[in-house]
Amino acid sequence: MRKNGLPVYAVVALGAMGIGAIVEISEFFVALNVIEDHVGGFVNVSLDLIFNTLGAVLGVVALWRINAGQHARAASRKR
């Protein structure tokens, strides 16, 4: 990955959050078409989106740390 991978990390996080939003939208359409609503309401949707965002951010932080560690090991081998 490039030295400044911030745009890549942002795309990864936004992509993960977008997938979570698609899941929530699909749950909404299921709730509209099914008589028995077991989706959970606004609180459930809000918590799902919050934890999807938290997971995306934690995933990007983990990816960044792994990438930084690989760069540090590569730099130490060059010396």
Q: Is residue 62 part of a domain?
A: yes
Which residues, in sequence order, are CB contacts of 17 under 8 Å at separation 6+? 49, 52, 53, 56
Q: Is residue 53 part of a domain?
A: yes
Between these two residues, 3 and 24, which has the higher pLDDT value?
Answer: 24
Domain limits for position 60: 6-78
Q: Is residue 1 part of a domain?
A: no
Q: Is residue 14 part of a domain?
A: yes
What confidence score (pLDDT) does residue 4 get?
A: 67
pLDDT in tens, 28-63: 888 788 766 666 778 888 899 999 999 999 999 998
Domains of the chain: total: 1
Is-contact 64 5, C-beta < 8 A?
A: yes
